[in-house]
Amino acid sequence: MAAPTTTSSDARFRPAGLIAFATGLLTNSGLSEDRAHTVAALLVEADLLGHTTHRLALLPAYLQQISIGGMAVSGEPKIISDRGAAIVWDGGRLPGVWLTSRAVAVACERARAHGLAGVSIRNGHHIGGLAVFLEGPARNGLAVIIASSDPSVKGVAPYGGTAPLITPNPLAAGIPTDGDPILIDISASIATLGLADRLRGAGQKFPAAWAIDAAGNPTDDPAVLTRDPPGTILPVGGIDHGHKGYALGLLVEVLTQVLSGFGRADPPAGWGASVWVQVLDPAMFAGREAFMRQTSWLANACRANPPRPGLDSVRLPGEQGLRRKRAALINGLQLHPGILDALQPWAERFGAGLPHTRLVRIPQTVDRLKGAS
C-alpha cells in the first residue's frame, strides 16, 4: 500500500484496506494476527458507525502502550471464578478490545445454556467504543449489555462535589427487533474524556457548560480538566439534574469493578478498563417470539411518534450509526482529520505503506447524514 500524495476532504477509504493496514501495524508490534485483526476490525467498525473518539484514532495510543509494555501482547485471561453463568477474568493487561470481544462470545454461548450469562473482566486494557460489540449478538436474537470503567482514571465528580472521582462510565445495550437492532451507547457523563482531549487540543469549547472548574463553577472550557487542581466533566443532567448521571455512574462502577473484586480501593494499575458483559437469551424467558413482538412494537411506535419542529422523524438509538455504516460500505469511509498523520510514524517504523484512498464525490444523502450527527 502506498501513501497518498494528497488527501482531500472528500477522501474515502475501503474499510477492508484500513483493517488490513491496522492489522499489519498491530502484528508488527507483537500481537498475533487473529488478535490484531479483531482489534483492527472493531476499531474500524467504530469509524463505520460514526463514533467521534473511540475508533481508529485510538490505534496510535494502543501501539504506544504496546511499545512501553503497558498493553500485553500475549497470554490468556486468568480465570478467577467460573460458575457457569457467572465468570470473572483477570485480563492481564491484554488488549481490551480483544478481551471484550472474547467475553461477548463466551457470554453468548453460556446464555444459550443458562438463559443469561455475565462475564466480569478486571485488569484489562482500554476497550474502545462499546457499540461495536452489540450488533452481532443482537442480530442473532440475543440481548447484550456492556459497561466499562477505568479504576485508574478520574474525570467526573460525584454530584454536588468538585473533585474528579470516577470515569465517564459508558453503558451500552443491543436489543433485537424484527428489523435493525436497537443499539444503545451512552455514558453517565455529558461528554467523554476523549472528546474533551480533542476539543482542548483544537482550542475549542464544549457546546455548553458541560464541565466545572475546581471551584465548582460551570464552564464550557475543556482545559479545566488539566489544570491544577483539575476541574471535572459534569454527569448527565448537568448542574440541575446531574444526580441522575451520578447514580448511573455509580451503578457502572459496581457492575464493572465491584463484581470483579478489583477497583478504586486498590492501587492504580495504569490506563485500562474494567468491563461487565451480560447476555440474555429471550428464548429462555417468555420466548423469542414474544420478545420480538414487544421490542418490534416499541420500535415502530417510537418511529411513528410525531416529531417536534425541525426534525423529519423520530429515530431509535443506533439507527443513524447503522445508516452511516451502510453508506460507508458502499461509498468508502471518511476518516476524521489527523488519524493517518498520527499513524504515519508507526507505518514508517514498520515499513508499512498507508492505505490507498478512493476519492469519490460524497453523495448528498451522506452529507446530510453527517450534518445530522
- Rounded to the nearest 5 degrees, what angle is found at the Cα of 279, between the Cα atoms of 278 and 283? 150
Helices H, strands E: what count in the chain? 11, 12
Looking only at the bridges linking them, the beta strands covering 86-90 and 116-124 are parallel
Per-residue model confidence (pLDDT) at position 10 = 66
Cα distances (angstroms) measured from residue 220 to each of 160, 214, 231? 18, 13, 11
Give residue 44's identity as a one-letter amino acid code: V
Which residue in 135, 118, 64, 122 sits closest to 96, CA to CA? 122
Could you tell me if 44 and 19 are in contact, meaning their C-beta atoms sit under 8 angstroms apart? yes
Find cell 460514526 and name the residue. Answer: 50
The CATH number given to 1-70+333-373 is 1.10.1530.10
- Domain ranges in the chain are 1-70+333-373, 83-190+238-317, 194-233
Per-residue model confidence (pLDDT) at position 361 = 44
- Asked whether the CA dihedral 276, 152, 343, 75 is positive or negative, the reply is negative
Rounded to an integer, what distance in angstroms lies between the CA atom of residue 183 and that of residue 111?
A: 19
**Per-residue DSSP letters for 30-96?**
T--HHHHHHHHHHHHHHHHTT-SSSSGGGHHHHHHHHHTTSS--S---EEEEE-SSEEEEE-TT--H
pLDDT in tens, the chain (373 residues): 444 433 445 689 999 999 999 999 999 999 999 999 999 999 999 999 998 777 899 999 999 999 999 999 999 999 999 999 999 999 999 999 999 999 999 999 999 999 999 999 999 999 999 999 999 999 999 999 999 999 999 999 999 999 999 999 999 999 999 999 999 999 999 999 989 998 999 999 999 999 999 999 999 999 999 999 999 999 999 999 999 999 999 999 999 999 999 999 999 889 999 999 999 999 999 999 999 999 999 999 999 999 999 999 999 999 999 999 999 999 999 988 789 999 999 999 999 988 876 644 444 433 333 333 3
351 three-class SS: coil
Rounded to an integer, what distance in angstroms lies between the CA atom of residue 231 and that of residue 95?
A: 30
Per-residue model confidence (pLDDT) at position 9 = 52
Q: Grid coordinates representing 163?
A: 473533585
Q: In DSSP terms, which residues pair with 120 in a beta bridge? A: 88, 276
**Per-residue DSSP letters for 302-346?**
HHHSPPPTT-S----TTHHHHHHHHHHHHH-BPPPTTHHHHHHHH
Rounded to an integer, what distance in angstroms lies between the CA atom of residue 294 and that of residue 288?
A: 10
**Per-residue DSSP letters for 107-144?**
HHHHHHHHSEEEEEEEEE-----GGGGTHHHHHTT-EE
Overall CATH class of domain 83-190+238-317 = alpha beta
Q: In DSSP terms, which residues pair with 172 in a beta bridge? A: 146, 185
Which residue in 39, 56, 38 sits closest to 47, CA to CA? 56
Q: Regarding the domain delimited by 194-233, which CATH topology (the fold level of the hierarchy) does it fall under?
A: Wheat Germ Agglutinin (Isolectin 2); domain 1 (3.30.60)
Per-residue model confidence (pLDDT) at position 97 = 98
Could you tell me if 272 and 93 are in contact, meaning their C-beta atoms sit under 8 angstroms apart? yes
155 three-class SS: coil
Rounded to an integer, what distance in angstroms lies between the CA atom of residue 133 and that of residue 131?
A: 5
Side-chain-facing half-sphere of 310: CA atoms under 13 Å: 1
268 three-class SS: coil
Which residues, 6 or more positions from 178, have their beta carbon under 8 angstroms from its beta carbon? Answer: 292, 295, 296
